[in-house]
Chains A and B, each alone.
Chain A
Amino acid sequence: MDKMQCTCGHVNPPGTVLCESCGRSLTEVEQNKKLVDMRYEGTARRSQTYNKSIIDKIWNFFSSVKVGVSIIVALLVSAAVGTILPQEQYVAVPVRSDAALEAYYSDVYGSIGKVYYFLGFNDLYNSFWFIALVGMLAISLIVASLDRFVPLYRSLKNQRVLRHSSFMNKQRIYAEGSAAPDSMEKAEAKLKELKYKVSTDKNGLLAEKGRFSRWGPYVNHIGLIIFLFGVMLRMMPGFYVDETLWIREGETRAIPEAPGYTLENKGFDVETYTGENEEAKFGEALDRVGTVVKNYQTDVVLYKKPEDALPGETNLETVKEYPIRVNQPLKFDGYAVYQMDFKKDELKTMTFALTNKATSESLGNMTIDLINPEKEYTFDDGSVVKLLGYYPDFSGFENGEPQTKTPLPNNPGFLIEMKTPETPNGETSFITIQNTVEPFGDNDYKLAFQSVETRDVSGLTVRKDRTLPILGLGGLIFMIGVAQGMYFNHRRFWIQQTADGEIMLAGHTNKNWFGLKKDLDQVKEYAALPAYTDQQEEIEKLEKEEAELTS
C-alpha cells in the first residue's frame, strides 16, 4: 500500500480515510458518502496497513475485533460447559486418583459423565486450552487497543482548527449561512462559558470538550489486563491457597499450606432457631418451613510453632482461641479459615457390658475410645477384656485376617479376649456392629453393646489470596474506564467565517447528540449563528419517505 497524499499536500499513512490535516475524504467510497465516518477520526488502524512478516500477521490476527469477539464467545461457551457437571475439586472421592475420578464420573453421571471426563472437562478451568484462550483474550485486548489507541491519540493531539469544507459539510451537525460580523467572537465567548477548550486559527475556531472520554475503552482494557494478571498470579506458588481441612472434634491438625501453624478442633455445633422467647416472632415461619439453622460454629485453638521448631515437634504455642462461624473466619498471617462443611455423628466411643450369656448377668461396662483404644479393660471382679485387634472400618476377612478399608471408625471391628474368674483360659470373640463371631466355639460370655458416643467433623477451608489487591485495582480501573467512556462525551465544534461574512459550522460528538445540540442551541442564540441541521435525521427522514413512496 502506498502513502496517500491529499490535495492539501499532507501525506497520510496508507489506509487513512480522512486526511489527517484538512479532513478531506481520501477514498472514493468516502467521497461519495453523505456523512463522513468519524470512527477513530478516519485514521488508519495500523493493523490494516502493514502485512508483511509473520509477526505482523500474528499481530493483525489479534488486532481484529472479529477475532476478539470470537475468543470471548469461545470462552463463554467453554466456561458454561464447565458448569454442566461439577468440577473435580468439588467431587467427593475417598482417595483422589485419576482412576477414582473417572469411576466417579461414569458411576454418577453415566455415559455423559464418561464423555465429560474423557474430554477433560472435569478440570476445565485449569486445562491448558482454557488458559490459552484467556491468554489469547489478553493478547487480543492489548494488541487491538494499541492498534487503535495510538493512531487515535496522535490524530486528536494534532488536530487542525481549519478543516476542508468537504469535511465540515459531511458532519452530522452542519450549518451554513450569513451571520453578524461579531458572531465568531461571541461564539467563542459562549463556548468558553460552556467549558469548551477553544483554539483559533486565522478565520476559524475549534471548540472541544471531554476528549478524555475517548480513552474510556482503553482504560477499561488496562483494568481487564491487570485483572487477568492477578488471576495469573494465583497459579504461582505462595500467592493463592485454597485447601480443605477436615478436622474432627478433639483432633489437632497441621494446617495445609500454612507451615508452622496447627489447629485444634475443640467442638463443632449446629444451632437451630427454637422459635421460643425472643425468637417467638419466627414461630410462624418455622412452622411453615421446618428447622432453620441459626449458626454453624467450630471452636478452635490456633497454635504456632517456634521459628526453629521441626515438623512433628509438639512444643506448640497458643496463638488464639476463636469460634469460626460462617462468614466469620479465623484470620492470621494473611490466611483465613472458613466454616464450610460438616459431618455429624461419626463414632467416637462404644460402650459394652461384659455379660454372661446364660444368666444375662453383667460384670460391668467398658468403653472403647475408637480414636485411641486401650490394650486392656479391667473390671472390678478381676475380669479382663484384652483388645487383640482393632479394625476401625472393617471390610471383611482376607486369609482369615480382618481388614480395615480406611482409618476412620465407620464400621469398627474388635478382636477381643475375655477372661473372667469363671473362664480363666479366656474366650475369643470378634465383634462388629450388631454381629459377633466366636471363632473357637461357643463362649460363656459376650460383650453386649450398650451405647455410643459420637463426634462431629468440621469441614474448614483454608484460604490465602495475595492477589486480591491486584484484582481490586483491576476492577477499579475497569470501572473508571467504563464511567469515563459512558458518562462523558467528546464534543467538538468547528466554525469558520469566510471573507464574505458567511459562517460554516460543524459539530461532532462520540455519543449523546442531544447534549451536543443543547450546547449548540445556546451558542447559536447568543452569537446569532445560522440554523443547523442534523443531517443523519435528514437522511433517515428521506429514506423513510422514499420507502413510503415505493410501497
Chain B
Amino acid sequence: MNEKTNKKKRNRLFMRTAILLMLVAAIGYTIYNSATADDVSLLEVGDDAPNFALQDLDGKQHKLSDYRGQGVFLNFWGTWCEPCKKEMPAMDRQFNAYKDQGVHVLAVNIAQSNFEVQSFSDQFKLSFPIVIDKTKDVMTAYNIRPLPTTVLVNPEGKIERIITGEMTEEDIKGYMESIKPE
C-alpha cells in the first residue's frame, strides 16, 4: 500500500514537472520570439548572402555571384541620407586602395531616379559601381531598415558582418581588410 502510494506520488511529481516545464518553455520561446521580432534580421552573420541582380547607371547588370572569390563591400544608401553622404568619399578612397587586393564595393541605391544617383556619383567622383534597387526587392530580401547599412560578404559568399550607421575611414579600412581573399 505504502509503496503504491509512493509510486503514485512520484508519478504525479513527474507529471507536474513535465507539464510546468513544457508550459514555461512555450512561454519562454514566445517571449524570445517577440523580443527578437523587431530586428528579424532574416540575415545573420555566417548566412549565405542572398544573390541578386541589379543594373548600374550604364545599364550593366551586376550579380553578387559574379564576385565569388572576392570580398564584397555591399553598401545600401540614399542621396537624402546624411551619414551615407559622409562615408562615400572614404569608401571610394579605400576601394581604390583595395580593389587590386580582391575587395569590391557595390553601392545599392534605394529606388531613386537615375538622375539623382548619377549627379551624386558625379559630385563625389565615385569610381565603384552603383546599382539601383528600383522595386526595393533587394532591400526587402536583405531586410534593410536604417540607412546606411553595410553588409560585408567574404570570398566564400557568406556574410561576415552587418554594419548599420556611419563608418569612419578607419572602420572601412578594417572591414575591407577582414574580407580580403587570402
Give residues 1-27 of B contacting A (CB, 8 Å). 9, 12-13, 16-17, 19-20, 23-24, 26-27
Q: Which of B13, B19, B27, B113 contacts A135 (CB 8 A)?
A: B27
- Least Cβ distance of A250 to chain B in Å? 12
B138 at the interface (CB under 8 A from A): yes
Contact A55 B79 (CB under 8 A): no
Contact A373 B115 (CB under 8 A): yes
Complex formed: what's the CA distance from A254 to B134 in Å?
A: 9
Q: Which of A50, A56, A139, A371 contacts B113 (CB 8 A)?
A: A371
Complex formed: what's the CA distance from A59 to B21 in Å?
A: 11
A405 at the interface (CB under 8 A from B): yes
Contact A407 B111 (CB under 8 A): yes
Contact B33 A254 (CB under 8 A): no
Contact A55 B80 (CB under 8 A): no
Against A, the Cβ 8 Å flags (1 = close, 0 = not) of B101-116 are: 0000000001111111
Contact A312 B52 (CB under 8 A): yes
Give residues 123-182 of A contacting B (CB, 8 Å). 126, 128, 131-132, 135-136, 138-139, 142-143, 146
Complex formed: what's the CA distance from A256 to B40 in Å?
A: 13
A313 at the interface (CB under 8 A from B): yes
Contact A390 B146 (CB under 8 A): no
Kindly report which residue of chain B lies nearest to residue A257, judged by CB atoms.
B140
Contact B53 A313 (CB under 8 A): yes
Contact B115 A374 (CB under 8 A): yes
Contact B138 A312 (CB under 8 A): yes
Residues of chain A lying within 8 A (CB to CB) of residue B112:
407
Contact A237 B40 (CB under 8 A): yes
Residues of chain A lying within 8 A (CB to CB) of residue B34:
126, 128, 131, 235
Contact A407 B137 (CB under 8 A): no
Q: Which of B13, B30, B78 contacts A53 (CB 8 A)?
A: B13
Classify chain B's interface size.
35 or more
B136 at the interface (CB under 8 A from A): yes
Residues of chain B lying within 8 A (CB to CB) of residue A96:
145
Contact B52 A311 (CB under 8 A): yes
Contact B52 A142 (CB under 8 A): no
Q: Which of B31, B63, B137 contacts A128 (CB 8 A)?
A: B31
Contact A311 B141 (CB under 8 A): yes
Kindly report which residue of chain B lies nearest to residue A126, judged by CB atoms.
B34
Complex formed: what's the CA distance from A550 to B82 in Å?
A: 87
A351 at the interface (CB under 8 A from B): no
- Least Cβ distance of B61 to chain A in Å? 9
Complex formed: what's the CA distance from A184 to B34 in Å?
A: 65
A404 at the interface (CB under 8 A from B): yes
Contact B37 A235 (CB under 8 A): yes
- Least Cβ distance of A16 to chain B in Å? 15
Give residues 206-259 of A contacting B (CB, 8 Å). 232, 235-237, 252-256, 259
Residues of chain B lying within 8 A (CB to CB) of residue A128:
31, 34-35
Complex formed: what's the CA distance from A128 to B38 in Å?
A: 13
Residues of chain A lying within 8 A (CB to CB) of residue B136:
253-254
- Least Cβ distance of A348 to chain B in Å? 13
Contact A405 B51 (CB under 8 A): no
A406 at the interface (CB under 8 A from B): yes
A97 at the interface (CB under 8 A from B): yes
User: Known: A143-B19, A252-B135, A390-B119. Contact between A55 and B30, CB under 8 A?
Assistant: no
Contact A139 B23 (CB under 8 A): yes
Residues of chain B lying within 8 A (CB to CB) of residue A29:
none
11 contacts between A and B (CB under 8 A): A55-B13, A59-B16, A135-B23, A235-B37, A310-B51, A312-B137, A314-B134, A372-B115, A373-B115, A375-B115, A407-B111
Chain A residues near B (Cβ < 8 Å): 50, 53, 55-56, 58-59, 95-97, 126, 128, 131-132, 135-136, 138-139, 142-143, 146, 232, 235-237, 252-256, 259, 262, 310-314, 371-375, 387-390, 392-393, 403-407
Chain B residues near A (Cβ < 8 Å): 9, 12-13, 16-17, 19-20, 23-24, 26-27, 30-31, 33-35, 37, 40, 50-54, 63, 78-80, 82, 110-116, 118-119, 131, 133-141, 145-146
New A-B contacts (20) at CB < 8 Å, excluding given A59-B16, A232-B30: A55-B17, A56-B16, A96-B145, A97-B146, A128-B34, A135-B23, A136-B27, A142-B19, A235-B30, A235-B37, A254-B139, A255-B140, A259-B141, A310-B51, A310-B52, A311-B52, A311-B137, A373-B113, A389-B119, A390-B115
